[in-house]
Amino acid sequence: MSPITGWKLLGTTPGAAMTSEDVQDLWPDAVDVEDATVVGAVDQALSRWGDNVDASDWWFTTTIETAQDSWVDFAGVTAPATVYLDDRPVAEVESMFLPVSVAVPAGDNRLVVHFPALDAVLRKRRPRGRWRSSLVAAQGFRWLRTTLIGRAPVYSGVSPAVGFWRPVALRDLGRARDVVVQADPRSGRVTVRGVAPSPGDVLMSVHHKGTELTVGAATADSDGQFTVSATVPEPALWWPRGYGDQSLYTAIVTMAGQPLCEKDFGFRTVEMTSAHEHSGSQGFSIAVNGIDIFCRGAVWMPPDPLRLTSPAATTQKHLQLLADAGTTMLRVPGGTVFPDAEFWSYCADLGILVWQDTMQATFDPPEDVQDLLCAEMRELLRTVSGNPALAVVSGGNELIQQPEMLGLAPEQRDVSALSRALSLVVAAESDAVFVVASPSPPPGSTDLAIRPDSGVAHWFGVGGYLRPLADVKTAGVRFAAESLAFAIPPSADAVDRHFSGAAVAGHDPRWKSGVPRDRGASWDFEDVRDHYVAEVFDVDPLMVRRTDPELYLQLGRLAVAEAMLECYAFWRRHDSGCDGALVLSSKDLCAGAGWGLIDIDGQPKAPLQALARLWSPVALRLASAGLSGVRIDVYNDGPGPLEGTLELIATNSSGHPVTEARRPMSVDAHSSTTLHDSDLTGRFTDLSHAYGFGEPVADAVQATLVVKDVVVARDVHVIRSTAHQGIIELDAKAVLADGRWWLELLSRTTLRYVEVDAPGWRPADNYFHLAAGLPYRVPLTAFRDHAGRPPKGSVTSIDALTVTRFAADDR
């Protein structure tokens, strides 16, 4: 593949030029953009042709020279667009989600691509839909196959994409095309189909961890089409992260010793069930290789929302952050864009399941567009064929919920024709589970999609609907494909870097431009966050913001973290009836307090760092069980039994132990165990202070799970804390032991939400509680540019008015 460069960009008023010949005399005014695969080129050129990307026509041109007849492959072009070759229209781009190929003869050829002003396209009169979308004002978007990023208020803060959002290149005529891989985990049979550049014998070899395992041979026919198969004996299965190994194989197909294609694939089964063992109602769950998976993660947003595609290293960094936090699933929502090849490859490497929506969001899909929707999904499924990460395909984002919320009768919101067509595409091209829409009721059910206790939900009870945190225990969420949307402040350093301080929070237009809001709403998601600040910390966030904006933002970070922890702590319980939930969303689209668990600079926000404890494959959670005492849930997602010792210790305000106990602990593979404090102590102690006989017995309870002398899981449940202590006695020091750096902490008082800030280092745990008198060692990992330097930094707590500095121990 030879990338095509040397592009020039020109902007014109809408309709001023209708064909490439009409702009011939205008090219001297064009700007050089060289690599036009960066859609940001249009955004950068706005200063010359206006301030609204969608209000101008855009023209790209370049000259290509080929020694033989060839093809230009446009991997991704925003729609609508027209491609001209030497002033002849040769392709109409109807969908930005479908590739376009243009035949070019040998010699010099001039390419011109015209992108008409989207505002003008939207003004074209077309039949109205049966309902209006709440995402955008311009309802004509239901006819257009383009992204809503930069166009819908919930995806604001970034310019819309216009141009080439994926590579434009001359085709490598020696490579196979239209390659599809199918792998059967039951038989070990792998089949590769494709189109070779010529007829002839093809040979396939299958490799695993660098070793050739098996081969197969076939013959490409006169059209170059071939199908070649081989059998892998006793194939190793691919598992989601934490549940087993991510075993991947590579199929290499050659002709006459020359490589035709190389594709990675995996063996696994994926199935959907709607009945839950404990709830008794119809929900939604995913089983991989016959094992139910508790899906946790986020709704994926492109790491670069302007260019829509990112360097492989950037995509890998974002996915690694999510994987390290315990993510097992990401959902790609309709209304955004299909991810690039690197996304799929890294998801397979990291064990992250992918839920892929059709690129359709809230609109009534016209019949004329349904063929495009099916073609887009067919193209995607063939491109990612063989990738074991793909688990679910849905017919769209809030496709059913939108008309339901507008009160339409069932016959007025029927989308069964599109659902049938898409389900046939998915069944023919993939083994992924098909879901009618996200959200949607269970198959065959007449429940409304908006119900959280049935099928797949988008649940914002804790969130936009301002339900108390305890609502998670009564809402009956079975599976939330979207949930927990808050305007999450980034770190204090990020606020200083982008806004020169916290004083902008809550009111400054620059800050508010990064805060998500629903179109037409009189509130935004910062208001939502403030509501939970008041609930969690019993303060007036407005008054805190007036007097201490830094504290205001820190309370916001921690209130969101607490809300998410409370919800996931309940959802992950075996008796909750919930089989998964995804946070909206993975990453901010611009600087500020967006929905993202990762900020615009690619750094994890406080809630993600706190969730890592609970999302971990091996995890432990303490919670008050009322009169039953302190509940202890131990989770083991892994493929083997977990054998260790569970230790419980409670300390009072002086840091003295008041209760200590331990017992052997065994947790089966892919399972969990629930105990109460009395199961360890053998007696009644009222550690939860539910009976309220006098003062609390303890300030905090700590539980640790120790396996082979290593603490593999820890949690602290705070019974009583003292907010804003003037002076705290906290010892903090960095020590080098066992070949790595650790932060050793010991507090004389119980502290909540302890934050470790070590520039250049990432703590393995953060925003945790410390029980008085109990030491805690936190592993520290250096960023690449800090390797070899000893760590130093600070430790703070929401309960403290002072900051504790730490550095390497001199011993």
Helix (H) or strand (E) holding 571: helix 549-571
Report how far residue 711's alpha carbon sits from residue 334's, in angstroms, rounded to the nearest whole number: 41
Report how far residue 795's alpha carbon sits from residue 803's, in angstroms, rounded to the nearest whole number: 6
The pLDDT > 70 percentage for the chain reads 98
Report how far residue 239's alpha carbon sits from residue 808's, in angstroms, rounded to the nearest whole number: 40
Fold topology of 270-486+564-615? TIM Barrel (3.20.20)
Phi then psi dihedrals of residue 212, to 5 deg: -75, 125
Q: Which residues of the chain have pLDDT under 70?
A: 35-39, 276-281, 724-726, 810-811
Say how many Å lie between the first and final Cα of the chain, rounded.
Answer: 58
Report how far residue 38's alpha carbon sits from residue 474's, in angstroms, rounded to the nearest whole number: 48
Report how far residue 597's alpha carbon sits from residue 486's, in angstroms, rounded to the nearest whole number: 10
Please return the burial class of 802, using the count of CB atoms within 10 Å of its CB with bins 0-12, 13-18 and 19+. Answer: exposed
List the beta strands (DSSP E) in 221-268: 225-231, 249-255, 258-265
Supply the CATH classification number for the domain 2-170: 2.60.120.260
Report how far residue 91's alpha carbon sits from residue 72's, in angstroms, rounded to the nearest whole number: 11
- Please list, in sequence order, all residues whose beta carbon lies within 8 angstroms of the beta carbon of residue 124, skipping any fewer than 6 positions away: 140
Beta bridge partners of 10: 59
Please return the burial class of 703, using the count of CB atoms within 10 Å of its CB with bins 0-12, 13-18 and 19+. Answer: buried
Phi then psi dihedrals of residue 50, to 5 deg: 115, -175
DSSP string across 116-154: --HHHHHTS--PPPSS--SS-S-GGGGG-BS--TTTSGG
Report how far residue 47's alpha carbon sits from residue 131's, in angstroms, rounded to the nearest whole number: 37
The verdict on domain 721-811 having CATH code 2.60.40.10 is yes
Range(s) of the chain covered by CATH 2.60.120.260: 2-170
For residue 465, give the DSSP letter: T
Supply the CATH classification number for the domain 619-713: 2.60.40
The verdict on domain 177-265 having CATH code 2.40.110.20 is no
Helices (H), strands (E): how many in the chain? 15, 43
Range(s) of the chain covered by CATH 2.60.40.10: 177-265, 721-811
Render pLDDT for 364-390 as a digit per residue (tens, 0 to 9): 999 999 999 999 999 999 999 999 999
pLDDT of residue 623: 98
- Please list, in sequence order, all residues whose beta carbon lies within 8 angstroms of the beta carbon of residue 810, skipping any fewer than 6 positions away: none
Torsion of CA 360, 363, 365, 370, to 10 degrees: -10
Distance of CA 141 to the CA centre of its chain: 25
pLDDT of residue 714: 99
Torsion of CA 196, 197, 200, 202, to 10 degrees: -40
3-class SS string, 280-306: CCEEEEEEECCEEECEEEEECCCCCCC
CA distances from 640 to 266, 388, 617 (A): 21, 22, 12
Range(s) of the chain covered by CATH 3.20.20.80: 270-486+564-615
Report how far residue 55's alpha carbon sits from residue 117's, in angstroms, rounded to the nearest whole number: 5
Render pLDDT for 56-88 as a digit per residue (tens, 0 to 9): 999 999 999 999 999 999 999 999 999 999 999
- Checking 534-538 for CB contacts under 8 A at 24+ apart, the result is 535/468, 535/469, 535/559, 536/469, 536/562, 536/563, 537/723, 537/798
Distance of CA 188 to the CA centre of its chain: 31
3-class SS string, 308-356: CCCCHHHHHHHHHHHHHCCCCEEEECCCCCCCCHHHHHHHHHHCCEEEE
pLDDT of residue 36: 54
For residue 23, give the DSSP letter: G
Judged by DSSP in three states, 471 sits in: helix
